[in-house]
Amino acid sequence: MRLSRLLSPSSSDLAIDLGTVNTVIYLREKGIVLNEPSVVALETLDGVQRVRAIGAEAKLMLGKTPDAIRTIRPMRDGVIADIDVAEQMIKHFIEKVNGGRNWLSRGPEIVICIPSGATPVERRAIRQATMNAGARKVHLIEESMAAAIGAGLPVAEPIGAMVVDIGGGTTEVAILSLRGLAYSTSVRVGGDRMDDAIASSIRRKHNLMIGEATAEQIKFAIGTALIPEDGVGQEMRVRGRDLLNGVPSEITVNQAEIAQALADLVGQVIEAVLSALEKTEPELAADIFDRGIVMTGGGSLLAGLDTVLSEATGLPVIVAENALTCVATGAGQALDDQVFQGVLTTA
Of the candidate spans 4-12, 42-50, 295-303, 339-347, the one that interacts with ligand ADP by CB under 6 A turns out to be: 295-303
Q: Is 87 in the site for ligand ADP (CB under 6 A)?
A: no
Q: Is 172 in the site for ligand ADP (CB under 6 A)?
A: no
Binding at 22: pick from ligand ADP, Mg ion, none (beta carbon under 5-8 Å per type) = ligand ADP
Interface with ligand ADP (CB under 6 A), residue from 55, 168, 233, 330: 168
Q: How far is the CB of 151 from ligand ADP (least distance, A)?
A: 13
Binding at 219: pick from Mg ion, ligand ADP, none (beta carbon under 5-8 Å per type) = ligand ADP
E strands along the chain, which residues?
14-18, 22-27, 31-37, 40-45, 48-54, 69-72, 75-76, 79-80, 109-114, 137-142, 161-166, 171-177, 180-187, 208-209, 235-242, 248-254, 293-296, 317-319
| Whether 160 contacts 288, CB under 8 Å | yes
Q: What residues from 31 to 70 belong to the interface with ligand ADP (CB under 6 A)? A: none
Q: How far is the CB of 285 from ligand ADP (least distance, A)?
A: 27
Cα–Cα distance measured from residue 200 to residue 120, given in angstroms and rounded to the nearest whole number: 35
Interface with ligand ADP (CB under 6 A), residue from 216, 257, 287, 306: 216
Q: Is 219 in the site for ligand ADP (CB under 6 A)?
A: yes
Cα–Cα distance measured from residue 22 to residue 38, given in angstroms and rounded to the nearest whole number: 5
Cα–Cα distance measured from residue 310 to residue 151, given in angstroms and rounded to the nearest whole number: 18
Q: Is 115 in the site for ligand ADP (CB under 6 A)?
A: no
Report which of 129, 120, 37, 135 is spatially closest to residue 84, judged by C-alpha positions: 129
Q: How far is the CB of 289 from ligand ADP (least distance, A)?
A: 27
Q: What residues from 160 to 219 belong to the interface with Mg ion (CB under 5 A)? A: 167
Helix segments in 223-325, DSSP class H: 255-278, 282-291, 305-313
Give one word for 63, left, alpha or beta, with left for phi > 0 and alpha for psi -120 to 50. Answer: left
Q: How far is the CB of 165 from ligand ADP (least distance, A)?
A: 7
Applying CB under 6 A, the residues found at the interface with ligand ADP are 19-22, 167-169, 191-192, 216, 219-220, 223, 297-299, 301-302, 324
Applying CB under 5 A, the residues found at the interface with Mg ion are 19, 167
